[in-house]
Structure 1
Amino acid sequence: MVMEKPSPLLVGREFVRQYYTLLNKAPEYLHRFYGRNSSYVHGGVDASGKPQEAVYGQNDIHHKVLSLNFSECHTKIRHVDAHATLSDGVVVQVMGLLSNSGQPERKFMQTFVLAPEGSVPNKFYVHNDMFRYEDEVFGDSEPELDEESEDEVEEEQEERQPSPEPVQENANSGYYEAHPVTNGIEEPLEESSHEPEPEPESETKTEELKPQVEEKNLEELEEKSTTPPPAEPVSLPQEPPKMHQESCSFPT
């Protein structure tokens, strides 16, 4: 009877069940899942602050796992993905929570590449293992929120800041230029169209004269009326110009 080949998802789920059960209860035997060509990397940084490097082979992986001091581990698996890969292998991705030595739970992501072990059907070993804690990858999200809030505050301050008042120019400079002066006498305005025509005062005065005024006085008044009084300087408005705004077995 030929054994049916399990699906990648069945292989992945069975592996996850066995692996994390051993991690929680007997982590010193975890190295049995690996082979001499396996690689293992566990997230974190070394003493110099550099990211941890991968270790290779079952023996080195065993020492690495022991150095991590797994004790009283509690694992909660939230999600498992498994897909077929090259040479009948299976790639498994796990996401969940891990508490070690009574510490608070931390979110983690772990990826395994399971490779067939020899000619034994449906038997796999861990060829690659990559583990990372989420907070080591993404860090704390609060600084990003702080930067956004600072940007909002700056925008509010810019909105509240009053716009500078327009510079008020000399009221007279937008309307006319200074008149040239010659010999200390100001020349009369050339724009006669803007001057009010002087009203002849002679007619008014003559109307007010009584009929009894002598002819001589009338002649004197007529001579005076021929010379109009000097035009008074035009007073311009003082308003400034307007500006617009904008399933399977495993080694144990």
Structure 2
Amino acid sequence: MVSVIESNASPDSAFTVVRMEPSDILSLAGQFVVQYYTVMKKCPSGIHRFYKDDSSMIREDTPVCGQRMIHEKIMSMNLQDSQIAILKLDALRANGNSVLIHVAGEISIANEEFRRFTQCFILREQAPCDFYVLNDIFRYQDYVYGDLKNNVETNDDHLAKVNEYSPSENVSHCSMPHSARDVRSYS
């Protein structure tokens, strides 16, 4: 279950906290994503509360660190009334009691055309069942790939290294359950 906890703290303090039971990582991720994108759409001025002073984010090659700077960056993006469609959600337990979340979807900002994006979060547990966003990377897919037919540049040396790579016998592979979550829209 996700809940938002608020107090009368100043806007620079972290007073919105995501609380979830960590036993089901994919459920935790789904609940977090619903809350995160709902706040982003309806009240982008409050989304910085998912972050703390040690948090960092990247938006199209621009790294931003700290809750105040994240707030400024988010406010410059004009996210009010954005439309978001989540096409795929994956999650894994990360180091300690952290959770790695990968989102693939489409977003329309300011009634522009939908653009495909991916976003990765690392949620850090700050107290039992109490998480915040430690790291956040957002990338538009058209920014990464552009027009593949006309813009593909290859470096034969790099391709040769990739093609020669094979995992060593010392690498252990584990079976991870695939996420079955297919959340469609938070508009």
- TM above 0.5, yes or no, is yes
Summarize deviations over 1:205-238 as a string: whole Å, max 9, x none. Answer: xxxxxxxxxxxxxxxxxxxxxxxxxxxxxxxxxx
Asked if structure 1 preserves the Cα contact closer than 8 Å seen for 2:53 and 2:67, the reply is yes
Matched, 1:81 2:98: no
Match of 2:140?
133
Aligned AA (2:77):
L
Picking from 83, 87, 107, the partner of 1:98 is 107
Looking at structure 1, the residues matched to 69 and 151 of structure 2 have their Cα atoms a distance apart, in angstroms, of 39
Post-superposition Cα deviations, 1:90-132, rounded to whole Å, max 9, x if no partner, equal 0000000000000000000000000002x3x111000000000
Change (3 A) 1:34 1:7: same
Paired residue for 1:178?
none
Q: 1-side partners of 2:132 and 2:87: how far apart?
A: 23
- Residue 5 of structure 1: CA displacement? 4.3
Whole-angstrom distance in 1 between the partners of 2:48 and 2:22: 26
Deviations 1:145-195 (A, max 9, x none): 9xxxxxxxxxxxxxxxxxxxxxxxxxxxxxxxxxxxxxxxxxxxxxxxxxx
Picking from 59, 72, 76, the partner of 1:67 is 76
Aligned length: 133
Counterpart residue type for residue 68 of structure 1: M
Asked if 2 retains the 8 angstrom alpha-carbon contact of 1:6 and 1:122, the reply is: no
Which residues in structure 2 correspond to 1:164-203 (within 5 Å)? Answer: none
Give the deviation of 1:6 after TM superposition: 2.2
Structure 1, unaligned runs of 5 or more: 44-51, 146-252
Shift of the 143–18 alpha-carbon distance from structure 1 to 2, 3 Å rule, reads: same
Secondary structure in 2 aligned to 1:6?
coil
- Alpha-carbon distance change, 30 to 5 in structure 1, aligned in 2, over 3 angstroms: closer
Q: Is the 8 A contact 1:12 1:82 kept in 2?
A: yes
Structure 1 residues 4 and 61: CA distance shift in structure 2, 3 A: closer
Match of 1:239 in 2: none
Moved >4 Å (runs of 4+): none
Structure with bigger strand share is 2
Q: Distance in 2 between matches of 1:4 and 1:20?
A: 20
Residue 10 (structure 1) aligned with residue 14 (structure 2): no
2:127 maps to 1:110:
no
Higher Cα Rg: structure 1 or 2?
1
Q: In the alignment, which residue of structure 2 is the partner of 1:57? A: 66
Distance in 2 separating the partners of 1:142 and 1:103 = 24
Please say if 1:21 is aligned against 2:30: no
Amino acid at match of 2:87: R
The root-mean-square deviation of aligned C-alpha atoms, in Å, is 1.7
> 2: CA distance between counterparts of 1:4 and 1:129?
21
Provide the TM-score with structure 1 as the length reference: 0.51
Q: Percent identity?
A: 38
Bigger share in helix: 1
Per the TM alignment, residue 11 of structure 1 is displaced from its structure 2 partner at its CA by: 1.1
Q: TM-score, normalised by structure 2?
A: 0.68
Contact 2:92 2:99 in 1 (8 A): yes
Mapped pair 1:123 → 2:130: yes
